[in-house]
Structure 1
């Protein structure tokens, strides 16, 4: 088997919520130092006021906010009596902070504004800059981001003017947070990195910790959880080094939230429990309430709703006790979520209404919008469409008012759903089309960072799918096809467009959305029948359906749809389960099982397995092929290009069996592609290569340095998650034999064993015309244990040395400029990767991104002997016929005769161009 006998662990990546939007507000005690009394008046009243002021500080430090307010109010009265303007300003500033921490933002702003007037009158630029920053933070909590940015910029200007480096770092951090809340993540990271640099320069460890936390929060928002954890661990280390117990508790809690988003709920609970122990030890009631709430959320996701309610109730009691209005509102919303999933919509609505009342009281516009959206969802479950629409419209209005991009996109999706279910299809379509424009605007703001675009597209894809459903319901399948393409491999299409000098739009971050005319033109240029699938999952009352479009080379477009359930009435089998079961019955073992020696099955067991295998493959054929069988070409040489979605990328199309017992590869020449528009770009890549090199096809030559053939390198060591250490990959005798045979066929050099180093391959790969790599493929490469940060998944095993680790990764390939017209990855699972809404993120995508128009990869762990036969036959056929797809088909048919089990001949697929 060409896969490592010790397997790496996949780290899926998903999105994260931070404990607080502003570190300064999450830990308001840090603000108290902003307003101190500097005047030294030897006066008994002054001394009394100073004492009251300090007592207020002490009470606030232990979260006794009400007591602190009383002391500061008394101090304020005395400072005003003795006309001590600095003391008056300091008291007003701290009163603002207290009300800020209580969530009473309106009152906080009143005090901040009074403080600001005094600091300007007495020309106290230092504290003027501080209070401007606090005003900006408070307006951000209110969702008034325009005012937040205005005040933060004023604060930054003053701090730079007076050379207050610490204050400058804080202002940059707060500007970063506003940018993050506006979903402008690239700008947020820029601000946070500047802030981090300043704090490191002035050796402000507390500020450094806060900057690291903020960076972690931003990477969480982008779905880069490995980086979020990396920054969280750095923050935790600093907290422990400087013995900042409050910061340590916050860092542990943030790490818990990160692991929660990764789906590792056990580890999330472990971190939240550690955080809870610390905040209880230091009597941080605010932190205690937050940790209890986070534990409630974790148990909610584990399905332990009783425990979730218990923790949320404890959290609620603390937040009510310390009068943390904003925290109280959040917890009420969390309780509403639990009761909603329990189906108790009446109780959920009650909690959401309480949440709404609080967010309106404190004028927290963003959170108010979220409460309204949750209310709309609950009423939709109750079939009260009028109220559902009303609440979603209110949420949309708030999101637009405060420029909340994420909120607007989500509101439009949910409003479109409510309108659709209520029967208002035209208005639903209009709302969702604008929603897609919002999502695309958000992705454009990420610039050329394709990794982050892929992450956020997972949350956006549902809008594209819902709009397709609405268009189908309006009997407009061609418009639905345009939307299906618009939401298919968009990040890849944008990347290819930027890199292709032929395309005039290459400078743009987003290219023109595809239309029917373009899709028909691509089918004609490819001289192929295009088959695009789209999966519409259950959405309330909508059945799970599979949409299928067929575009013939003539431009004729046909549409079919089919339900999932009718095929399997005996149980509610999902499409994902059917695909997985089919692969299992083919005999594809899990990667954790590959090192296990499996006894040879008896003839009876083998016969039973083959019968079950055929049954599953026939079920897939019935679902995927039968509805369109009469639309496919009758000539076996005519190309059929499948454009799958989600789990359909794992379907072995060549091995699907019809009712007569014929495999699909016996009737059709098969290719796959990530999208139709991507095909247009791979065709242009092929044309560019033709302009650089001579013709197409291959000729047997006496010497062919343009061929890069690699087999069975001296294997590197890779991380083994089972043993917790790195271990060397196994020797591949069959891969060596395969590479030698192909090299002999072309009379070309071959790199084997110690010669096949990563450095040697990198030196040759850019100029190679044909690349054949027969080695281990590492589907799971890219976990933080191996690399320290998240990478694109997938790597090819090569010999280490000369400063290289022997793993040619997807992340390294995507940055290359390759001139190869064909790359064959004759290894295990090279066609797989992380299946995202964008498509399959892995080696095949990286190669296409790097400029390769045709890639042959595998969908499972392949057999050495059968693969050697298949690959030799492929090159033999390709030499006779320049059509790679036809050559691969013939190689499969011939290999099938010697190795009839589909597991041995059906693993490979050609992605991209046939010629």
Structure 2
């Protein structure tokens, strides 16, 4: 009887196991077997979520002191049940309990349970803000569960890993483990409904703006839970459904669902549920103008979090929400103190981020903390502090790299990296959809095993100060740092002798227009009305704009992908009157400016690379973009050979040119550490918006070298470049997933690796037009034009020929705009 119940509970089917455990406990009491009776009694607990968890946890702790709990199997069961409850209510206590479970399970040779215990420690670590440990432990448990053929554990850890990705806004990536969990649960007899995977998928679909399927899944899940005692699960689905309504702009049903979630959570002392739903309810009340209701809701949320003081993840968000509310109520000092405390907690979380991309997503998730404080400080005219607050998040990853990169050692490929290379080669060489799906899944698993560099543990301690930044700006330069937010966005306009904040339209309005304009340009259409509307939203309010000729743009959100040179006033494009440079942040701009002053004389003035130089079918335009690393897409780029050779004639010698089969990844990596003026890469480019570390430049195949021919973002970061300029004459090199912390793309990876300037593209371009623009660009550099002025002149030549922005606005200068060759 007990074996049958244990089999059901092992598959998380606790509700079905509960009556069997009840009968077993009666039988064991009758047989005077108190240890087994206690084992069965505590095993009934997980089936009922309607009781107070803290009281139950206390009772289980008391049970451990009973004589009958000295039986090690019974003790292990009590600890396991206690850990299950604690993981939902107090992650710090849960972590300690699961450590005990792990040790005792090993002692009793219950290795599958030990694997689960390690995974549960990882879940607790994530809730506590330790994402580095969380990733290692959950991924290890997930992998071992497959080896041990424990489908219930595979479902559990695929679910929680996917849920963690959802928390980091990596929605599309999250669908891979979540769908895997749901598929295994539905196809394996004896497994419970995968509730965690389902409600995480609801949030992922909502994050991808797939509201109808998200809402349908939420409604099906709630219908399934009605009549059960799974109260904590009901609360979570109400939160998820409320967020769908909120994202859709339906605030009344959102408020109703959040209130329902809070009521359920309070009934069962689910403090985490109150903390989460309370913050969301406060934001909703604030949006509809109910500030007293918002303040009450956020106070309840913060009070609930004091019951679980070690759980940091929601604390910065809730403190920032309260800071914004009390600021609107006129309590400025209290608001400032709350913002400062919130930012300090975010810094702690960033220090424990497992990878650079998790740093980016955590910063994006917490972006409201920084933008809210920035806006508050601007209203108080505390501009120095406003810049510092903003720079703690802007371009943070790149700033860290610039400050610490030279201390990061070059290392030989690890076994995990070699396996990833093998899989990438296999992916490139097959067009079969089934094979590509299988290999892509293996790549995902392999990527999870690669450890982050030591750089991810560093924290930027010294963002640029206003006076220092102003010293690095020329009299003709206007630096504009944008902050997209609701209900108003902001622009911070800085010159060598002034600083002025401006209020702009909302984030939703600006991003809708920016995304539509980019779509129009990529369709080779000229939309002057939309260009003028964006100009009126982003540049016209700034009084310094007509007084300066050189723009430095620090973008935010979708503005990372917007070509500012193609905005237009009523008479002309911005390109006609201004140069445009892009910087990841004001701090990065200043750090590069300081590095340029120390740059040594180049030993190799020019390195040019063109891998795909063979003749081609020229009946159709050839573009330098591919949609995935696929051999059949790697068409010849015949103009790229003439491009790199023409540039060599314009620049000083000696030079190194790698053409065709000689243009391999291994040869370029060997050359890349030399001091150079210009590195010009005329290659195919691949931008992966879902897995940004996979974005790559494609070199000639060279299997014997041990390289896969894909110079990916994660590899670029590890290069030790000494280049004054890197030109990425490939398509989509400036594209990547964006957030307030920056854009994860090839360009920023080269900045991190040591390039002063990167010239990149925002969309796919036709090969011949690219070659022509590049030739003009370098001819102007050869006569000592500044980098940014040389690009502008080359672009103007195409504009003056009557070509629409598609042909000239894609190229942009990132980093140092000045300097001549």
Aligned to 1:883: 786
The whole-number CA distance in structure 2 between the counterparts of 1:31 and 1:105 is 26
Aligned to 1:834: 737
Aligned to 2:441: none
- 2:404 aligned with 1:493: no
Conserved? CA contact 2:5–2:18, under 8 Å: no
Q: 1:139 aligns with which of 80, 83, 86?
A: 86
- 2:29 aligned with 1:124: no
The whole-number CA distance in structure 1 between the counterparts of 2:587 and 2:508 is 32
Q: 1:757 aligns with which of 664, 670, 673?
A: 664
Aligned to 1:293: none
Aligned to 1:246: 191
Aligned to 1:189: 135
Aligned to 1:535: 483
Q: Secondary structure at the residue paired with 2:322?
A: helix
The whole-number CA distance in structure 1 between the counterparts of 2:96 and 2:509 is 51
- 2:540 aligned with 1:626: yes
Aligned to 2:321: 414
Q: CA deviation digits over 1:514-544, x for unaligned, max 9?
A: 35xx2331332353624123234333xxxx3
- 2:495 aligned with 1:578: no
Aligned to 1:511: 460
Q: 1:738 aligns with which of 622, 643, 647?
A: 643
The whole-number CA distance in structure 2 between the counterparts of 1:756 and 1:624 is 42
- 2:679 aligned with 1:771: yes
- 2:486 aligned with 1:548: no
RMSD: 4.2
Structure 1 residue 658: deviation in Å? Answer: 4.2
What is the aligned length? 759
Aligned to 1:792: 693
Q: Secondary structure at the residue paired with 2:763?
A: coil
Q: CA deviation digits over 1:576-634, x for unaligned, max 9?
A: 3433454456x4328xxxxxxxxxxxxxxxxxx76x43x44444444433333546656
Q: 2:553 aligns with which of 642, 666, 680?
A: 642
Q: CA deviation digits over 1:441-463, x for unaligned, max 9?
A: 2111115x111111222221122
Conserved? CA contact 1:793–1:842, under 8 Å: no
Structure 1 residue 508: deviation in Å? Answer: 6.6
Conserved? CA contact 2:202–2:217, under 8 Å: no
Aligned to 2:523: 589
The whole-number CA distance in structure 2 between the counterparts of 1:901 and 1:377 is 43
The whole-number CA distance in structure 2 between the counterparts of 1:338 and 1:579 is 24
Aligned to 2:813: 910
Conserved? CA contact 1:223–1:452, under 8 Å: no
> Which is worse superposed, 644-653 or 219-228?
219-228
The whole-number CA distance in structure 1 between the counterparts of 2:87 and 2:672 is 51
Q: Secondary structure at the residue paired with 1:670?
A: strand
Conserved? CA contact 1:713–1:757, under 8 Å: no
The whole-number CA distance in structure 2 between the counterparts of 1:352 and 1:662 is 50
Q: Secondary structure at the residue paired with 1:514?
A: coil
The whole-number CA distance in structure 2 between the counterparts of 1:665 and 1:461 is 31
Q: CA deviation digits over 1:296-349, x for unaligned, max 9?
A: xx64756xxxx67854662453xxx23333334445556666777898877766
Cα pair distance change 1:718/1:77, threshold 3 Å:
farther
Aligned to 1:564: 505
TM alignment of 1:360-371, pairs within 5 A: 360-371=266-277
Structure 1 residue 193: deviation in Å? Answer: 4.2
Q: CA deviation digits over 1:477-530, x for unaligned, max 9?
A: 44333323233112222233221459xx98972122535xx2331332353624
- 2:6 aligned with 1:33: yes
Structure 1 residue 110: deviation in Å? Answer: 5.8
Q: Could you state the TM-score of these two structures normalised by the residue count of structure 1? A: 0.73
Q: Secondary structure at the residue paired with 1:322?
A: coil
Q: Secondary structure at the residue paired with 1:458?
A: helix
Conserved? CA contact 2:502–2:542, under 8 Å: no
Cα pair distance change 1:801/1:32, threshold 3 Å:
same
The whole-number CA distance in structure 2 between the counterparts of 1:559 and 1:469 is 12
Cα pair distance change 1:342/1:76, threshold 3 Å:
farther
Q: 1:260 aligns with which of 205, 216, 228?
A: 205
> Which is worse superposed, 505-514 or 873-882?
505-514
Structure 2: unaligned runs, 5 residues or longer: 409-453, 617-621
Q: Secondary structure at the residue paired with 1:446?
A: coil
- 2:608 aligned with 1:708: yes
Cα pair distance change 1:339/1:160, threshold 3 Å:
closer
Structure 1 residue 844: deviation in Å? Answer: 0.8
Cα pair distance change 1:351/1:875, threshold 3 Å:
closer
Q: Secondary structure at the residue paired with 2:493?
A: strand
Structure 1 residue 845: deviation in Å? Answer: 0.7
Q: CA deviation digits over 1:211-230, x for unaligned, max 9?
A: 44444444444445566455
Cα pair distance change 1:148/1:31, threshold 3 Å:
farther
Structure 1 residue 254: deviation in Å? Answer: 7.7
Q: Secondary structure at the residue paired with 1:821?
A: strand
Q: Secondary structure at the residue paired with 1:488?
A: coil
Conserved? CA contact 2:531–2:566, under 8 Å: yes
The whole-number CA distance in structure 2 between the counterparts of 1:331 and 1:710 is 53
Aligned to 1:845: 748
Aligned to 1:171: 117
The whole-number CA distance in structure 1 between the counterparts of 2:718 and 2:128 is 30
Q: Could you state the TM-score of these two structures normalised by the residue count of structure 2? A: 0.80
Structure 1 residue 743: deviation in Å? Answer: 2.7
- 2:615 aligned with 1:674: no
When Rg is computed on C-alpha atoms for both structures, the one with the higher figure is 1
Conserved? CA contact 2:391–2:463, under 8 Å: yes
Structure 1 residue 782: deviation in Å? Answer: 6.2
Q: CA deviation digits over 1:59-100, x for unaligned, max 9?
A: 996835774575356446535xx4x2223322332233444x
Structure 1: unaligned runs, 5 residues or longer: 1-28, 35-55, 266-297, 566-571, 591-608, 695-703, 784-789
Aligned to 2:448: none
Cα pair distance change 1:710/1:163, threshold 3 Å:
same
Aligned to 2:425: none
Q: Secondary structure at the residue paired with 1:833?
A: coil
Structure 1 residue 793: deviation in Å? Answer: 5.8
Q: CA deviation digits over 1:225-279, x for unaligned, max 9?
A: 56645545666787689x44516867974895586266284xxxxxxxxxxxxxx
The whole-number CA distance in structure 2 between the counterparts of 1:343 and 1:664 is 35
Aligned to 2:413: none
Conserved? CA contact 1:711–1:751, under 8 Å: yes
The whole-number CA distance in structure 1 between the counterparts of 2:359 and 2:646 is 42
- 2:473 aligned with 1:521: no
- 2:597 aligned with 1:653: no
Cα pair distance change 1:705/1:31, threshold 3 Å:
farther
Cα pair distance change 1:654/1:251, threshold 3 Å:
closer
Q: CA deviation digits over 1:625-650, x for unaligned, max 9?
A: 3333546656x6xx442222223233
Q: 1:78 aligns with which of 23, 30, 37?
A: 30
